[in-house]
A and B are shown apart, each in its own frame.
Chain A
Amino acid sequence: MSTYDEPEPTHRSESTSPPDDAVQVLDTDGTLLPGAQRPALTDQALLEMYEELVLARRFDERATGLQRQGRIDTYAPMRGQEGSQVATSFALDDEDWLVPTYRDHAAKHAHGRSYEALLTHLSGYREGYAVPDDVNALPEYIPIGTQVPQAMGLAWGFTMQDPHDRAVLCHFGDGATSTGDFHEGLNFASVYDVPTIFVCNNNQWAISTPFEAQTATETIVEKADAYGVEGVRVDGTDPLAVYAVTRAAVEKAKHPAEGERRPTLIESCQYRLGAHSTADDPSAYRSEDDGEDWEDQDPIERLERYLYHEGILDDDLADEIADRVEDCLATAIDRAEATETDPTRMFEHVYEEPTDRLREQLADLDGLRERHGDDAFAEVGE
């Protein structure tokens, strides 16, 4: 072992700002970059996107606060990543499907999930995972990378039934690209040429592991070549750029040109400004100034400046939006906190019909509850 030249451990991400080669539409000051075009979005749609972003940022702040007060369980913050989440969902049609991770709160909301439902499962009620019939989204994925082949299968099934009907957008992080499931899923998607948009939210950190220690390639997007999938790298803090590349990928997925492959891998370059989760302390593995440059890349401010420049947004309208956002969140929190559940719910949905043994276990539990009351179940005696 002494012959091995030991490398120094990597303590900081080398990615201090979004890469130059990523697709951008807006400059950080909110002006259109030379040669860039405003995506085909109406003023109204742009305002809706802006409101969704403001709502996402405030949700993130409120959820983090609620966790600190012990009112919800572990929460995965998304500060700095809202722009990409909202823009990718805006690029989907209602009939398209979203396959989100545990950090994609804003992506889920922008595709139809309510923040009330998100807060319900964050409050410890599995009821919050139930997706309404009119929203095409799967419950969030916590194990890393597992959703990639599943999203491919979902898209595969859709093409078997109607080749131009629906696209599937699958989110994952940079860490997920190290898992076997990522590679297997992309390979299948390409081999069977299915309408899947794989969005790698490269936020530079998998808990404490910086991008440079996750993979020896320069980018995630270059991995697309190995599978015959189109790869696009985009500035994930530029909502209009993310919208444009995702919309193009959705169009191609559903209506490919002659000889064009349907799947796309989008590397959306972002930075996880906060902790991995409320149970994580980033000061153990990164310095305070790490990611400083990304702070200036705030997706919300970027779009906001653009809307002001264009005369689409003014102070009065911004105040109106801010008020609406606060009302929306206050209602969501009140409703989530009023959720009621019952231990019998544990036994539901394990199978379509409970097995005899499950019925027996439920009857035993009910008997104990009747004799002793629910308070007796607290972990006394530890």
Chain B
Amino acid sequence: MSTAADPSESADDDTVEVEPDVAADAIDLDTYDGPTESLSLVEAVRDGLGLELARDDSVLVLGEDVGTNGGVFRATEHLQDEFGPHRVIDTPLAESAIVGSSIGLAISGMRPVAEMQFMGFASPAYDQLVSHAARMRSRSHGQYTLPMVVRMPYGGGIAAPEHHSESREAALVHEPGLKVVTPSTPADAKGLVAAAIRDPDPVIVLEPKRLYRAFREDVPEESYTVPIGEASIRRAGDDLSLFTWGASTQPALAVAEDLAAENGLDVEVVDLRSLSPLDVDTIAESVQKTGRAVVVHEAPKSAGVGAEIVATINEEALYHLEAPVTRVTGFDTPVPLSTLEDFYLPQALRIREGVLETVEA
């Protein structure tokens, strides 16, 4: 498995050089037995942000409504009270300026954490993200680096108005120089936010807003990181590998449990968690073990990240496959308004059908 690393430092070397404090503070959530608190995903994001603000004076949180209001999803609630308006900053309404100024802040030595209120509203910032954030390191030949984070709530399932439900991870994953992570659990959310802030490169944290308050879990109270670039095997299994991330992880796990109970089918559920860099080793090892794979994502099918995973399986494990890889995804249509969302999202029924089709192929 790969670990969080600065690619420029490891380009000519098989030994991956690990970013020191990220690795030092990484913990194994499965074996952790220290003090915990029960948090929802959005509370875990806030906890992660608060600990990093406290830990490092150069960390700043900025965006629309993040200060006094504590964010429209309350992801930054009370942080301005605790750290002041110069560390948790309400900006004018301008996504391009929020990301563009973050680039400048990062070059100056700060560690900005910018919030895009919804991924569907982040489009004006894409110029700054893809033309500049993604390539400042390479165009300056390593002279300038951008230790910055852009957080974006994404995905559907909350009966939101138009432009509030997009899953555009593929566009970001396609940009060399950006890292893209997306948690599916509160514990991962806290650790990934911390890892993203400490990362020397620009990291996009995609937060599945359908999961913000969907459930709670026990999260370590201490500060810790979840290394970027590592997938998480949520359920081990031998019969089929199901690759997913974000909000789709929950229905995927439910389907796996149901199929195990009903007909003994043992589905391995892999939450990729980091979409760029992708954990190729875990994907390959899983398919080599099971021989069958299904990819589930909420974004439209065509040119989605699922296509990248299928191509990776072809490169790394083609001769282990016993059936074509199936994709269960959103459709190649705009995300519908609330009345048709259940038909658009890859919910349990379609995931189950995709798995059975792949097993029977």
Contacts and interface: CB of A to CB of B under 8 A. Distances in A.
B234 interface: no
A215 to B, nearest CB: 7
A301 interface: no
A176 interface: yes
Interface string B61-73: 0001101111010
A16 interface: no
A379 B163 contact: no
Contacts of B347: 377-382
Interface stretch (A232-240, A310-318, A340-348): A340-348
A175 B90 CA distance: 13
Nearest to A371: B353
A121 interface: yes
A4 B86 contact: yes
B349 A143 contact: no
Given A9-B80, A73-B159, A361 B301 contact: yes
B126 interface: no
A126 B342 contact: no
Given A368-B350, A381-B254, A361 B331 contact: yes
Contacts of A209: 64-65, 90, 92-93
Interface string A1-25: 1001011111100000000000000
Contact of A123 (B70, B339, B350): B339
Interface stretch (B117-125, B271-279, B311-319): B117-125
A118 B121 CA distance: 22
B302 A357 contact: yes
A347 B331 contact: yes
A178 B93 CA distance: 6
Contact of B86 (A1, A214, A280, A347): A1
Q: How large is the interface on B (under 10, 10 to 19, 20 to 34, 35 or more residues)?
A: 35 or more
A74 B161 CA distance: 7
Interface string A350-364: 100001011001000
A181 interface: yes
A125 interface: yes
A102 B161 contact: yes
Contacts of B95: 179
A154 interface: no
Interface in B55-98: 57, 64-65, 67-70, 72, 80, 84-86, 90, 92-97
Interface string A269-300: 00000000001100011000000000000000
Nearest to B117: A207
A39 interface: no
Interface of A: 1, 4, 6-11, 73-74, 102, 121, 123-126, 142-145, 175-176, 178-181, 206-209, 213-215, 279-280, 284-285, 341, 343, 345-347, 350, 355, 357-358, 361, 365, 368, 372, 374, 376-382
Interface of B: 57, 64-65, 67-70, 72, 80, 84-86, 90, 92-97, 120-121, 123-124, 157, 159-164, 214, 250-251, 254-255, 258, 301-302, 331-334, 336-340, 342-345, 347-350, 353
7 contacts: A124-B338, A143-B120, A285-B69, A357-B301, A379-B157, A381-B250, A382-B348
Given A123-B339, A380-B254, 11 more contacts: A74-B159, A142-B164, A143-B121, A143-B163, A208-B65, A343-B343, A357-B302, A358-B333, A365-B331, A378-B342, A378-B347
